[in-house]
Amino acid sequence: MSGRAEAAAVPRHVAIIMDGNGRWAKQRLRPRLFGHRAGAESLRAVLRACRDRGVEYLTVYAFSTENWVRPEDEVSGLMSLLRTFLKKDEHELHENQVRLRVTGRIQDLPEAVRAELERVMAATKTYAKGHLILALSYGGRAEIVDAVRALAAEVQAGKLAPAAIDEAAIAAHLYLPDVPDPDLMIRTSGELRLSNFLLWQLSYAEFYFTETLWPDFREADFAKALDEYARRQRRFGAPS
C-alpha cells in the first residue's frame, strides 16, 4: 500500500461514546464513580494510540445535557474527576503538543471546572499536532438549536436573508465550526444508538460498535476499530 493510501486509511477525526463505566463498576460490586475513574485510564490509552496511529482529532462524549439528571453525588464526582484529569494529564498535552477544546454548553459547568478547562485550553491553544475535544454538557439537538437561534438573530438584525441559510450556514454556527466532521464513531458496551451525540457531524461517519465496556477499552481495541475502518469503502452517497 502506498504512503498516500495508508494515510487515507487512517481516520483524521475519531469520535467516541465512552459507554459502560457504570456496568463495569456494578460487575465488581463497586459504585459507579469507580467505573468512571477506570474509564479515565482508557481515555489516556486512546490518546496515546491516536498519537501513535496519526489520528489528528479525538472527540469524546464526556458529559451530556441529559446527564445532569443523574444523582448529585455522581455528577459532582464526575466534575471532580474531570478536574483531576486536567491537572494530572496537562503535562502530556504539552509534551505531545495536543490542543484541548470543549464542545457543548460550557457555561452550565461549575465555575471551578470551567475555570480549569479555560486555563488548559488557553495554555494549549497554539498546538496543532493533535486535538482532544471534550463534549461537556453537550447534546446534538441542543447544538443545532443554538445554531438556529444564532441564525435567527442574524436574520432579525437584517444581517442575513432567510434564503441564504443553507447547510454551510448552519455548519458555520455550530460549536466548533473549524473542526472537520468525524470519519469514525466508536461506541463501547454493545449499545447501538447515537444518544444525541454529534447528530449533524456524524452524517457520513463510519460507525463501529463493540461489546467491550469502556474501562476495558485499550490500545489493542482501538487498533481493531481503526483496522475495520481501513477495510471500509466510503462513498458519501456515490454508487459503489
Active site residues: 19, 67
DSSP conformational letter for 163: G
- DSSP annotation of 234 reads -
Please tell me the distance from the alpha carbon of residue 118 to that of residue 133, in angstroms, as a whole number.
13
60: helix, strand or coil: strand
Q: Which three cell numbers stand for residue 88?
A: 494530572
Q: Which of 53, 198, 203 is nearest to 134 (CA)?
A: 198
Would you say 85 and 36 are in contact if contact means Cβ atoms under 8 Å apart? no
Indicate the burial class of 15 (C-beta count within 10 angstroms; 0-12, 13-18, 19 or more): buried
Q: Which residues contact 123 (CB under 8 A, 6 or more apart)?
A: 90, 94
At a CB cut-off of 8 Å and minimum separation 6, what does 52 contact? 219
Task: Take residue 156 and report the three cell numbers written for it.
Answer: 432579525
With a CB cutoff of 8 Å and minimum separation 6, the contacts of 3 are none
Name the one residue in this structure whose C-alpha cell is 463501529: 208
Question: How many beta carbons lie within 10 A of that of residue 98, not counting itself?
Answer: 20
